[in-house]
Structure 1
Amino acid sequence: MASTPAEEIVHDFPSFIRVYKDGRVERLKGTDTVPPSTNPDTGVQSKDVVIHPETGLSARLYIPNKPDHNKFPILLYFHGGGFAIETAFSPTYHNYLISLVAEANVVVVSVDYRRAPEHLLPIPYEDSWAAVKWVDSTANGGEVWLKEYVDFDRVFFAGDSAGGNIVHNMGMRVGSEGLDGAKLAGMVLIHPYFGGKDLIGGEEANLAGKSVADKFWVFVNPTTSGSDDPLFNPAKDPKLSSLGCKKVLVCVAEKDLMRDRNWYYKEALEKSGWGGVVEAVEAKGEGHVFHLFNPSCHNALAMLKRVASFMNESKV
């Protein structure tokens, strides 16, 4: 029996996402959510806020246990999921960010940008930039948690996978447009989702995986110029040297399809004339976003401590 138009699949990424001809979207993972809370083990508190009622852009805020009531660095966190699955409210990210807030003593704004394919790129970028500007404007008054607890001279961006891609592109936008009341002190890119037309490093050993990653980029950004779009391959951006901060940490996983792209990003940034300091750390024997799936393993705990120390180092 022939399938009906409603049942016909037009985009299929197994175990990830499926889109039907009638427009229905089926997310095959990353759909669970948890409410904000006060974590009994760490004292980390969280709450949800609406940034733009018109678009529904929202975020989950986290503050550390604050016995001395100091001003803390602030981290804008952009979740992964290929721009298409997961949210700021998923248990995976909620639990990870509680651990990071407790370890680093930072305030976190976990951005719930709108997702593809209902909201194709550049909408996730535009939502992310709106969240950056919301934090920037709060430096002059606004959301009470941020106004009371944040040192706006120590703003950081971080994200994993597609979120790492967002981090880079938000850093480029800070470089071109600037901030008014806040200062971007640094960025952390965890296994960032980058690509490129030409094969590099060990990519030839996994052509099928690279093909899927490249195909997915076109799926979420159908107006792209392709795999060498500077949004996806920063090494092709003639304005790379204008990145809007002076220190960057790239977290790499040895068995990640993106491993060589992540090292390539570090090298391209160093060669661009940017003038900041970029460091890459590699987790041996680990795969893509391993720290989210196995947060208590040795390498995940070591990465958590490194990200935390990066945000607490002396100002650059």
Structure 2
Amino acid sequence: MASNSGFPIPPPADPSDEVVREFGPLLRIYKSGRIERPLVPPPVGPGHDAATGVDSKDVHLGAYSVRLYLPPAAAAAEGGASKKLPVVVYVHGGGFVAESAASPHYHRFLNELAAACPALCVSVEYRLAPEHPLPAGYEDCLAALKWALSAADPWVAAHGDLARVFVAGDSAGANACHHLAIHPDIRALKGAVLIHPWFWGSEAVGEEPRDPAFRAMGAGLWFFACPGTSDMDDPRMNPMAPGAPALGTLACERVLVCAAEGDFLRWRGRAYAEAVAAARGGGLGVGTEEAGGGGGGVELLETEGEGHVFYLFKPDCDKAKEMLDKIVVFINAP
């Protein structure tokens, strides 16, 4: 079943059905084969956003779709020799099994990001597991990035600066952004923004619990979403694992990693930022939104007192605004 926007909506629930597998609020699998994603609200359509002045539209590209966001700065510049806008390809989170570019949380955030930069944003609607196990989601994200770089859409062609293309995403989407930035086919990125990235591994980093049972539990959703994986040290889940592609080969000039104090993935994000900075032979810029990057062009923003992807659920709080300001500064830096 699909909504008017073309994005899928779940079928009505059967109260007699039985849950046989569950991953928190993200995913429930029923005995009948029905799949439910309780955390995901009904999708919202594209169009004009009165709060920001941003216009959006959906482009369907076969197995995947994208939602484009064009800020009022672009419309105001039409008819003149205007400076083009950076292009931000955004990948939503949800453990590769839930969420959508049409979710009201993401739709609001992309409207605000597009207006604040200003930037032309491309939000990717990729296929989800278990209907489409990984690497399907990775493949869709790669195809969407290549599509954006091709300037096949009139909005991108007219307003996008293809010398300033960024990938950005949260949680599983941040994981996918690493996959994009290190892919051998991609060599044209200005930067990457990884918000609360979902990485894991068999060995603990920082203050992560070292209990093997906890580590296995933390990888349970990964094994479900990617049944063909080797283990939790698969380079797609643990980019710091032995044998993973060298972090020094990331195809972007600058990297911003955002972490949250109350997120169990906090230490993994910090370790990733430190490893990328070390691979580039520079220091790590750490601090608030005023902090500058180190010599390797790598920055870490740690938000105190907040949890995983808090900015989606508390978009009006001061910490969410600080994080958005930091991302805007990062995207607009020379």
Regarding TM over 0.5, the answer is: yes
Contact 2:182 2:245 in 1 (8 A): no
**Which whole-Å CA distance do the structure 2 matches of 1:240 and 1:153 have between them?**
22
Question: Map of 1:175-214 to 2, 5 A cutoff?
Answer: 176-179=184-187, 183-204=188-209, 210-214=215-219
| 1:306 is aligned to 2:313 | no
Residues 136-186 of structure 1, C-alpha deviations (whole Å, 9 max, x = no match): 222xxx21111111110000000000000011010011xx1235xxx3100
Shift of 1:126: 0.2
| 1:107 is aligned to 2:120 | yes
Residues 232-254 of structure 1, C-alpha deviations (whole Å, 9 max, x = no match): 11111142221111200000101
| 1:241 is aligned to 2:248 | yes
Shift of 1:28: 1.4
- 2:98 corresponds in structure 1 to 85
**Which whole-Å CA distance do the structure 2 matches of 1:88 and 1:172 have between them?**
23
Question: Map of 1:103-182 to 2, 5 A cutoff?
Answer: 103-138=116-151, 142-173=152-183, 176-179=184-187
**Which whole-Å CA distance do the structure 2 matches of 1:267 and 1:42 have between them?**
35
Of stretches 224-233 and 204-213 in structure 1, the one that deviates more from structure 2 is 204-213
Residues 277-305 of structure 1, C-alpha deviations (whole Å, 9 max, x = no match): 21101001110001011011111000001
- Give the 3-state SS of the residue equivalent to 2:50 in structure 1: coil
Letter in structure 2 aligned against 1:133: K
- 2:12 corresponds in structure 1 to none
Contact 1:63 1:107 in 2 (8 A): yes
| 1:252 is aligned to 2:259 | yes
- 1:216 corresponds in structure 2 to 221
| Unaligned 5+ runs, structure 2 | 1-15, 283-295
**Which whole-Å CA distance do the structure 1 matches of 2:98 and 2:212 have between them?**
24
**Which whole-Å CA distance do the structure 2 matches of 1:231 and 1:14 have between them?**
22
Shift of 1:32: 1.4
* Residue among 42, 46, 55 paired with 1:45: 55
**Which whole-Å CA distance do the structure 2 matches of 1:272 and 1:147 have between them?**
35
CA shift in 2, pair 1:105/1:286, >3 Å: same
Shift of 1:25: 1.2
Residues 237-275 of structure 1, C-alpha deviations (whole Å, 9 max, x = no match): 142221111200000101101000000101111233477
Residues 47-76 of structure 1, C-alpha deviations (whole Å, 9 max, x = no match): 11112x2x2x11110011022343100000
Aligned sequence identity (%): 44
CA shift in 2, pair 1:209/1:256, >3 Å: farther
**Which whole-Å CA distance do the structure 1 matches of 2:163 and 2:256 have between them?**
18
| Unaligned 5+ runs, structure 1 | 1-5
Contact 1:210 1:257 in 2 (8 A): no
**Which whole-Å CA distance do the structure 2 matches of 1:96 and 1:25 have between them?**
27
- Give the 3-state SS of the residue equivalent to 2:59 in structure 1: strand
- Give the 3-state SS of the residue equivalent to 1:49 in structure 2: strand
RMSD: 1.9
- Give the 3-state SS of the residue equivalent to 1:188 in structure 2: strand
Contact 2:260 2:308 in 1 (8 A): yes
Contact 1:243 1:274 in 2 (8 A): no
- Give the 3-state SS of the residue equivalent to 2:330 in structure 1: helix
- Give the 3-state SS of the residue equivalent to 1:76 in structure 2: strand
- 1:36 corresponds in structure 2 to 46
**Which whole-Å CA distance do the structure 2 matches of 1:241 and 1:118 have between them?**
34
| 1:64 is aligned to 2:71 | yes
Of Structure 1 and Structure 2, which has the larger fraction of its residues in helix? Answer: 1
- 2:277 corresponds in structure 1 to 270
TM-score normalised per structure 1: 0.89
- 1:3 corresponds in structure 2 to none
CA shift in 2, pair 1:117/1:274, >3 Å: farther
Higher relative contact order (CA 8 A, sep 6+): 1
**Which whole-Å CA distance do the structure 1 matches of 2:214 and 2:41 have between them?**
24
**Which whole-Å CA distance do the structure 2 matches of 1:80 and 1:233 have between them?**
17
Letter in structure 2 aligned against 1:258: L
